[in-house]
């Protein structure tokens, strides 16, 4: 028998399908003994056990005065405390506001002020950084891990003491609705102060719900290696909770231990972001490469190594385009054969590629991606405390992603670049993403960033900044010769700079603004100065 609907609009799911509190209660009643969370050390929490832990911590938060709709900040690494805090904050109908554990200085000051939180759950090792900044509206620190330190910039409560009655059903002022704000996730801030993305429960649900990720079902176990302060780390527990499924919470990504941990936790799906797939594929082959339980993997971006990864590890590969603000508008089928694609538009989404005046560009041409959804509240609700940025992003009734794409005649989309990262060299538009993909095919390159630097002629020259695979060295001349054979003449980088690590934001995005500002440094290798020139191909007959 179908359940009675909570809402008359058929596009809005019931509360117990998309709101965290009601989802947890539903599965704790219907599937009390099914594991929802497993850890690398073998510990498991069933839905019933998890609800008791969450209710006890939520009751403790309520005793501190946390109320429905209040913003509660969390500054914790991945682990049991962080997951329980996330669920407990939402169980009260409060807004979960996680901070990146790398934050400090001006960035930390900014997010504290923007969050509007008066309570911060924090790891004791991070407390010294709080002493260096204005703590704005913060009134109390809830400190994890053992005994409270002797001093702190604000009154403290021990996290372990924050416990109430696990049988308390914690009555609410009103039901939590799908359009209520669930979280504020801070973006990387590569071109300005980090923006706090306001996400509703319905946004989080649509982000990876049945219509967005149809390849995931209740029998899957999602191995989460991303930090919980990113959408990539906070989203998986929510994704699997919505399906009554499970998640393996892992502290961090490790190339050497990845497959053994996946097997030990019986994980069936993973998300491979950035260089993670590259690290795994460039590791030495082993007889045990297929001895694991993983069946499905998202690979973002989809590189030319995708087929080799599928064959070597026996994993079906999917790819996707998404960002914190939207809800998976572009998703691929299993093992797509169009390298570089992000997939096609899923049901319930409209996508346009436009020029600088928001006019649609023809098929095959490059334009900024604009997105909107059929379902209300299925994307971000704006930027917290930043109406100017909200208005700019949502102008004309479409969300402007800031990403440049092209679309082929079959409806497949291909990421080209961040709009502000495009390179133009001698009349040709160059995708830094495509340059980086070719550079990373070299066996000694772990990661790469392509940037524009001034040319003595006109427009730009292409420069790449690369980091080596551990234990290997990059020879600039050999790399340039490799690229001459791999890419069109106009894309071949003139300049190569080698760093041990590329500079990154606290959300692990490469700081191209810093690299561009440094420009051509004394340690930069110049292909033309080395006598290695690339001539334009002549196809005339």
For each of the chain's 541 residues, which pLDDT tens digit applies? 567 889 999 999 999 999 999 999 999 999 999 999 999 999 999 999 999 999 999 999 999 999 999 999 999 999 999 999 999 999 999 999 999 888 888 888 989 999 999 999 999 999 998 988 999 899 999 999 877 888 888 999 999 999 988 788 899 999 999 999 999 999 865 555 789 999 999 999 999 888 899 999 999 999 998 889 889 899 999 999 999 999 999 988 888 999 999 999 999 999 998 678 888 988 889 999 999 999 999 998 888 889 999 999 999 999 999 999 999 999 999 999 998 899 999 999 999 999 999 999 999 999 999 999 999 999 999 999 999 999 999 999 999 999 999 999 999 999 887 777 768 786 667 778 778 888 998 999 999 999 999 887 667 899 999 999 999 999 999 999 999 988 878 889 999 999 999 998 666 678 888 898 899 999 999 999 999 988 765 433 3
Instruction: Say if 366 falls within a structural domain.
Output: yes
Q: Are residues 393 and 447 in the same domain?
A: no
**Residues whose CB is less than 8 angstroms from the CB of residue 440 and which lie 6 or more positions away in sequence, other chains included:** 275, 278, 303, 446, 447, 448
Helix, strand, or coil (residue 392):
helix
CATH number at residue 448: 3.30.300.30
Q: Is residue 180 part of a domain?
A: yes
What's the CA gap between 244 and 216, in Å, rounded? 11
Question: What pLDDT is recorded for position 540?
Answer: 38
Question: Is residue 320 included in any domain, yes or no?
Answer: yes
Domain that holds residue 404: 221-418
- Is 283 in the same domain as 402? yes
**386 plus 457 within the same structural domain:** no
Judge whether 540 lies within some domain: no
**Whether residues 278 and 338 fall in one domain:** yes
Query: Are 248 and 223 a contacting pair, CB within 8 Å?
Result: yes
Q: Residues 6 or more apart from 249 whose CB is under 8 A from it?
A: 37, 38, 39, 78, 79, 80, 83, 224, 237
Would you state the pLDDT for residue 541? 32
**β-strand partners of 350:** 372
Angle formed by the axes of helices 432-439 and 476-486, to 10°? 120
Same domain, 429 and 412: no
Domain CATH code at residue 355: 3.40.50.12780
Picking from 146, 178, 205, the residue at the C-terminal end of a domain is 205
Determine the pLDDT at residue 96: 98
Residues 352 and 303 both lie in one domain = yes
Whether 384 and 498 share a structural domain: no
**Domain stops at, among 361, 395, 418:** 418
pLDDT at residue 248, as a whole number: 97
- Determine the distance from the C-alpha atom of residue 243 to the mean position of all C-alpha atoms in its chain, rounded to a whole number: 20
User: Measured in Å, how far apart are the chain's first and last C-alpha atoms?
Assistant: 73
| Sign of the CA dihedral with 462 first, then 465, 469, and 473 last | positive
Beta bridge partners of 46: 35
Same structural domain for residues 251 and 175? no
The burial class, CB within 10 Å (0-12 / 13-18 / 19+), for 540 is exposed
Count of alpha carbons within 13 angstroms of residue 224, beta-carbon side: 26
Predicted TM-score (pTM) of the model is 0.84
Pick the last residue of a domain from 369, 398, 418: 418
pLDDT of residue 303: 82
Residue 60 CB burial class (10 angstroms; 0-12, 13-18, ≥19):
buried
pLDDT at 491: 85
pLDDT score at 509: 75
Report the distance separating Cα 182 and Cα 146, nearest Å: 29
Q: Are residues 375 and 490 in the same domain?
A: no
Asked if residue 138 and residue 97 are part of one domain, the reply reads: yes
State residue 539's pLDDT score. 36
Q: How far apart are CA 265 and CA 82, in angstroms?
A: 19
Number of domains in the chain: 3
- Give every CB contact of residue 328 below 8 A, 6+ residues apart in sequence: 206, 207, 208, 212, 213, 320, 321, 322, 346
Give the relative orientation of helices 47-63 and 80-91 as an angle to the nearest 10 degrees: 70
Residue 256 in tokens: 């050497």
Alpha carbon distance 60, 82 (integer Å): 15
Would 387 be classed as within a structural domain? yes
SS3 155: coil
In a domain, 248, yes or no: yes
Q: Which of 212, 202, 242 is nearest to 11 (CA)?
A: 202
Q: Is residue 2 part of a domain?
A: no
Judgement on whether residues 184 and 35 belong to the same structural domain of the protein: yes
Is there a single domain that holds both residue 350 and residue 447? no
The answer to the question of residue 213 being in a domain is no
| Three-class SS state of 177 | coil
């Amino acid at each position: 028998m179908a359940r009675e609907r909570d809402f008359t609009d058929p596009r809005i799911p019931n509360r117990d399908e998309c709101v965290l509190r009601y989802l947890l209660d539903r599965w704790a009643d219907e599937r009390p003994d099914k594991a929802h969370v497993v850890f690398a050390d073998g510990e498991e929490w069933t839905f019933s056990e998890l609800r008791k832990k969450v209710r006890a911590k939520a009751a403790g938060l309520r005793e501190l005065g946390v109320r429905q709709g209040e913003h509660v900040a969390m500054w914790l690494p991945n682990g049991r405390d962080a997951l329980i805090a996330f669920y407990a904050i939402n169980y009260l109908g409060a807004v979960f506001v996680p901070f990146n554990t790398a934050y400090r200085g001006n960035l930390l000051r900014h997010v504290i002020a923007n969050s509007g939180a008066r309570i911060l759950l924090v790891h004791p090792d991070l407390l010294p950084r709080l002493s260096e900044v204005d703590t704005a509206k913060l009134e109390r620190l809830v400190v994890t891990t053992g005994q409270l330190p002797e001093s702190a910039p604000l009154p403290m409560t021990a996290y372990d003491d924050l416990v109430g009655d696990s049988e308390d059903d914690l009555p609410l002022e009103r039901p939590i609705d799908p359009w209520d704000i669930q979280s504020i996730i801070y973006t990387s801030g590569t071109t300005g102060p980090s923006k706090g993305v306001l996400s509703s429960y319905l946004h989080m649900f649509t982000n990876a719900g049945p219509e967005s990720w149809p390849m995931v079902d209740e029998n899957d176990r999602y191995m989460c290696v991303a930090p919980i302060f990113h959408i990539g780390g906070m989203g998986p527990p929510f994704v699997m909770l919505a399906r009554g499924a499970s998640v393996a919470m892992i502290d961090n990504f490790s190339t050497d231990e990845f497959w053994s941990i996946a097997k030990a936790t019986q994980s069936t799906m993973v998300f491979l972001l950035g260089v993670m797939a590259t690290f795994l594929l460039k590791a030495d082959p082993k007889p045990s490469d297929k001895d694991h339980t993983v069946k499905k993997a998202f690979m973002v971006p989809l590189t030319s190594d995708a087929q080799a990864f599928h064959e070597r590890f026996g994993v079906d590969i999917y790819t996707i385009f998404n960002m914190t603000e939207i809800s998976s508008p572009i998703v691929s089928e299993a093992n797509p054969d169009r390298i570089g694609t992000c997939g096609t538009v899923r049901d319930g989404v409209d996508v346009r590629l436009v020029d600088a005046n928001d006019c649609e560009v023809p098929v095959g041409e490059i334009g900024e991606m604009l997105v909107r959804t059929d379902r209300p509240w299925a994307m971000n609700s704006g930027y917290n405390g930043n109406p100017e940025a909200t208005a700019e992003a949502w102008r004309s009734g479409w969300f402007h992603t800031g990403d440049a794409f092209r679309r082929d005649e079959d409806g497949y989309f291909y990421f080209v670049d961040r709009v502000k990262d495009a390179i133009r060299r001698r009349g040709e538009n160059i995708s830094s993403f495509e340059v980086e993909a070719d550079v990373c095919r070299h066996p000694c390159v772990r990661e790469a960033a392509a940037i524009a630097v001034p040319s003595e002629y006109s427009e730009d020259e292409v420069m790449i900044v690369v980091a080596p695979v551990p234990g290997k060295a990059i020879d600039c001349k050999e790399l340039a010769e490799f690229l001459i054979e791999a890419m069109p003449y106009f894309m071949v980088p003139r300049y190569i700079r080698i760093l041990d690590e590329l500079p990154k934001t606290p959300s692990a995005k490469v700081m191209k603004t810093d690299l561009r500002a440094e420009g051509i440094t004394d340690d930069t290798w110049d292909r033309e100065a080395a006598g290695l020139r690339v001539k334009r191909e002549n196809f005339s007959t």
